[in-house]
């Protein structure tokens, strides 16, 4: 961390540096050092103006999020710095390159002027962390750009360009070299009067902007508090507005949603850490061959093309190959039509795709991703051919979602180069990528796969080899409870309703209707043979035996008259009542609390086993898998974080109570959970492992 000073004539240039993102850290001393430098410059008679800039072509990514987790008062140091800048009797000009976001943007608007490079970007991302700009942003920004633009920035968290920031009044000038331009403009007398934004006129659109913002549906706690902060601008002095903002910020900082969202932010970065592989160099991946032109193969190809990679898609059947190409082109065209993608970029991505019928025609690649039928004989054929054709350095990956990656690796003479890359459908949309490490996968292959995940904008999480890896193995226990609840007394709409009220993007009955009930059916059949002592309810099988596989057949647990919208079907209720009667279960009233606890704690219990077995490195890996791959509510931080928040002793007591009930066999408490409770520890204590 450094603050570099350079006096050029009467202008003092202050450049602050705190790699990698110039976080305004109190703990690391940057904020204090900046405050001292400003005070010294104000007292120095040789200094007439101050130009502030960030090092390494970036202004600042905001306050140091690690700073105030347990030391909220540290933010007062940031607020003091901004007040000192604003109160400076000498003009302070922010010269901005790159990202200027969060507390970084609050620093910039505490200065008297702002000169930015065209590539600079501005945002208040705090809302995505369950926070609000807590160091003056809600009071200063509206005075610069009006309440409506300020609330749009604060409530959306979106980034805007320098041109847009200039247009709405957040910045004053755009220049190739902001530092030089700031000096030139000061020398010309353009930027030489101090202009504290806090003393600027109250914008005229506060009431209207607040009214409009409040019309939005399901505003989060952070959004409600941010609106309240802007609303007071009309009625209280600036200083009082700052203290109201600080009060709301402190409340949010301590709120569960914000703690969960911050857990997710750091968790997505922690899961990239592969224990024991910190020093291993990742292999570059510039070209990829995708083997298989089905739904997954085309989705994977689109994801890679979107990341700017050259992709060769191998599909032996002419019609399959033509359909794959057509589906890929259609996706890019649709994104252009919807304004998500420029026509030129779409053309570049389309041009980066080649298709052919055989691996021999495909030419060499750095990475091969097999996405063929989920059958071991077919995998053997593909990997035997890959072993013969792929260059020695190439990574050989399988997109398998259920098969044994070690068995697949054994089809080759290079198991150290073999890894699972389990994409989630639709592969070009879902963020999660399970990276399945075989027993003989080398650290270099694993590290390269993790770097590849980041390269293609995915959240890579490493999983060991077991049935279902991490995500699907846990999901099976979640579904097992959901199906038992149906035969014990609940109906699909109640199970889905309870879990969607908890925050799941889609309840289990709906999600399996979407994914295809036949997929779950085949897994249950396989597991019935492999694990006869761990049965499921027959209810979903009965639905499948009617040929009702969900949306794709127009009916599953629900009817889909328009192909998408679920409609309750009395015939399914009859089927469930008959099944309860057939197996002699006296149906009972089941409340939503029990539905949620049984489904979510089943995840937690299985997750504890998965960590104990080393299939997942840490509990946070399970959280990120569920946040980015299974629609777990972000404001609850994932199953393991949620369990910590509930208190593991409470979770264990509830699990023990379920063990005394029907299907108690499914509720054997995971030894790790019991041990953590006995030691008074949390899952979080295992995350630094």
Applying CB under 6 A, the residues found at the interface with ligand T1G are 20-21, 23, 61-66, 78, 99, 101-103, 106, 125-126, 129, 131, 133-135, 137, 266, 269
Sequence-distant (6+) residues with CB within 8 A of 379 are: 370, 372, 398, 400, 403, 408, 411
Nearer Cβ to ligand T1G (126/477): 126
Nearest-approach distance from CB 456 to ligand T1G, in angstroms: 14
**Angle at CA of residue 325, ends 319 and 331, nearest 5°:** 135
Half-sphere exposure of 355 (CA within 13 A, CB side): 23
Smallest gap, in angstroms, from Cβ of residue 640 to ligand T1G? 19
Reading the block at residue 613, the tokens are: 């077995």
CB of 145 to ligand T1G, least distance (A): 17
For ligand T1G, which is the closer residue by CB, 61 or 369?
61
Q: Check: CB of residue 131 under 8 Å from CB of residue 249.
A: yes
Determine phi and psi for 312, rounding to 5 degrees. Answer: -110, 125
What is the smallest separation between the CB atom of 105 and ligand T1G, expressed in angstroms? Answer: 8
Compute the distance between CA of residue 428 and CA of residue 424 in angstroms, rounded to an integer: 9
Q: Of the residues 8, 73, 86, 106, which is catalytic?
A: 106
Q: Within its chain, how far is the Cα of 213 from the centroid?
A: 25
* Rounded least distance, CB 126 to ligand T1G, Å: 5
The secondary element (H helix, E strand) that includes residue 12 is strand 11-17
Question: What are the φ and ψ backbone dihedral angles of 311, each rounded to 5 degrees?
Answer: -125, 130
CA distance 278 to 438: 19
Among residues 86, 97, 126, 488, the one annotated as catalytic is 126
The packing angle between helices 295-306 and 318-337, to 10°, is 50
The whole-angstrom separation of Cα 252 and Cα 221 is 8
In the complex with ligand T1G, the residue whose CB is nearer, 252 or 625, is: 252
d(CA 540, CA 521): 7
How buried is residue 439: exposed, middle or buried, by Cβ count under 10 Å (0-12/13-18/19+)?
exposed
Helix (H, G, I), strand (E, B) or coil at 557: coil
Helical residues (DSSP H) of 427-569, grouped into ranges: 443-455, 471-488, 492-502, 508-515, 517-530, 539-545
Least CB distance from residue 78 to ligand T1G, whole Å? 6
Spatial separation of the C-alpha atoms in residues 686 and 260, rounded to whole Å = 17
106 is catalytic: yes
Which of 167, 175, 34 has the alpha carbon at shortest distance from 96? 175
Q: Write down the least CB distance from residue 280 to ligand T1G, Å.
A: 16
Name 411's Cβ contacts closer than 8 Å, sequence gap at least 6: 379, 380, 383, 384, 387
Nearer to ligand T1G among residue 54 and residue 320 (C-beta): 54
Nearest CB to ligand T1G, comparing residues 272 and 656: 272
Residue 480 contacts by C-beta under 8 Å, 6 or more apart in sequence? 534, 536, 537, 602, 666
> 3-state SS of the chain: helix, strand, coil percent to 5?
50, 10, 35
Q: Catalytic: 126? A: yes
Residues in the chain: 689
Q: How far, rounded to the nearest angstrom, does the alpha carbon of residue 316 sit from its chain's CA centroid?
A: 36
Q: How far is the CB of 61 from ligand T1G (least distance, A)?
A: 4
Give whichever of 11 and 432 is closer to ligand T1G, judged by the CB atom.
432
Q: How far is CA 375 from CA 318, 469, 550, in A?
A: 21, 17, 23
Contact criterion met (CB below 8 Å) for 488 and 590: yes
Closer CB to ligand T1G, 271 or 600, in the complex? 271
Spatial separation of the C-alpha atoms in residues 629 and 570, rounded to whole Å? 32
**In terms of CB distance, is 64 or 434 closer to ligand T1G?**
64
Q: Which one, of 49, 7, 38, lies nearest residue 195 by Cα?
A: 49
CB of 447 to ligand T1G, least distance (A): 15
- Closest approach of ligand T1G to the CB of residue 2, in Å: 17
Rank residues 66 and 534 by Cβ distance to ligand T1G and give the closer one: 66
When the beta carbons of 250 and 519 are compared against ligand T1G, the nearer one is 250
Q: Which residues are catalytic?
A: 106, 126
């Amino acid at each position: 961390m450094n603050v570099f000073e350079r006096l050029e004539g009467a202008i003092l240039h202050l450049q602050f540096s705190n790699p990698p993102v110039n976080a305004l850290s109190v703990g690391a001393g940057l904020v204090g050092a900046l405050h001292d430098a400003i005070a010294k410059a104000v007292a120095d008679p040789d200094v007439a103006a101050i130009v502030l800039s960030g090092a390494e072509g970036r202004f600042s990514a905001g306050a140091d999020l690690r700073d105030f987790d347990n030391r909220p008062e540290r933010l007062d140091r940031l607020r003091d710095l901004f007040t000192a800048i604003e109160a400076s009797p000498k003009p302070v000009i922010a010269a901005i390159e790159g990202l200027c976001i969060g507390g970084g943007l609050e620093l910039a608007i505490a200065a008297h002027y702002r000169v930015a490079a065209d590539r600079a970007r501005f945002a208040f991302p705090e809302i995505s962390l369950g926070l609000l700009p807590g160091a003056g942003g809600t009071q200063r920004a509206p005075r610069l750009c009006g309440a409506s633009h300020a609330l749009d920035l604060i409530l959306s968290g979106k980034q805007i360009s320098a041109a847009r920031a200039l247009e709405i009044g957040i910045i004053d000038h755009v220049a190739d070299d902001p530092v030089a331009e700031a000096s030139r403009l000061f020398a010309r007398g353009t930027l030489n009067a101090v202009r504290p934004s806090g003393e600027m006129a109250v914008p005229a659109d506060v009431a209207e902007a607040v009214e409009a913002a409040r019309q939005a549906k399901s505003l989060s706690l952070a959004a409600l508090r941010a609106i309240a902060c802007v609303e007071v601008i009309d009625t209280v002095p600036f200083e009082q507005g700052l203290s109201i903002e600080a009060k709301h910020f402190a409340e949010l900082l301590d709120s569960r949603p914000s703690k969960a969202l911050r857990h997710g932010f750091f968790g997505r970065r922690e899961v990239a850490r592969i224990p024991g592989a910190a020093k291993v160099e990742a292999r570059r991946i510039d070209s990829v061959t995708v083997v298989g032109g089905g739904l997954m193969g085309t989705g994977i190809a689109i994801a890679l093309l979107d990341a700017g990679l050259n992709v060769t898609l191998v599909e032996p059947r002419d019609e399959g190959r033509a359909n794959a190409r057509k589906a890929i082109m259609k996706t890019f065209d649709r994104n252009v039509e919807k304004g998500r993608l420029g026509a030129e970029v779409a053309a570049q991505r389309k041009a980066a795709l080649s298709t052919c019928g055989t691996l021999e025609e495909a030419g060499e690649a750095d990475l091969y991703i097999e996405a063929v039928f989920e059958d071991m004989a077919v995998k053997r054929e593909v990997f035997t051919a890959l072993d013969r054709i792929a260059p020695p350095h190439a990574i050989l990956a399988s997109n398998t979602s259920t098969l044994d990656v070690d068995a697949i690796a054994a089809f080759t003479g290079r198991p150290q180069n073999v890894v699972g890359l389990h994409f989630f459908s639709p592969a070009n949309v879902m963020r999660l990528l399970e990276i399945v490490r075989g027993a003989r996968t080398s650290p270099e292959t694993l590290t390269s796969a993790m770097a590849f995940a980041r390269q293609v904008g995915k959240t890579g999480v490493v999983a060991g080899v077991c049935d279902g890896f991490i995500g699907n193995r846990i999901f099976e226990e979640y579904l097992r409870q959901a199906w038992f609840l149906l035969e014990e007394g609940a109906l699909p709409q109640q199970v889905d309703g309870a879990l969607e009220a908890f925050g799941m993007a889609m309840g289990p009955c709906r999600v399996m209707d979407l994914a295809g009930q036949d997929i779950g059916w085949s897994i249950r059949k396989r597991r019935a043979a492999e694990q006869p002592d761990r049965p499921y309810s027959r209810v979903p099988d009965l639905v499948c035996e009617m040929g009702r596989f969900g949306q794709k057949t127009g009916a599953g647990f629900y009817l889909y008259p328009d192909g998408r919208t679920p409609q309750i079907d009395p015939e399914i209720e009859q089927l469930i009542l008959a099944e309860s009667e057939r197996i002699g279960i006296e149906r009972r009233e089941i409340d939503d609390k029990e539905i949620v606890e049984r489904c979510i704690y089943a995840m937690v219990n299985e997750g504890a086993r998965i960590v104990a077995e080393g299939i997942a490195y840490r509990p946070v890996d399970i959280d990120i898998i569920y946040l980015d791959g299974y629609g777990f509510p972000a404001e609850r931080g994932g199953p393991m974080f949620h369990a910590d928040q509930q208190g593991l002793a409470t979770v264990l007591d509830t699990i023990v109570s379920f063990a005394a009930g029907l299907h108690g066999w499914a509720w054997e408490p995971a030894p790790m959970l019991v041990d953590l409770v006995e030691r008074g520890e949390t899952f979080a204590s295992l995350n630094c492992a």
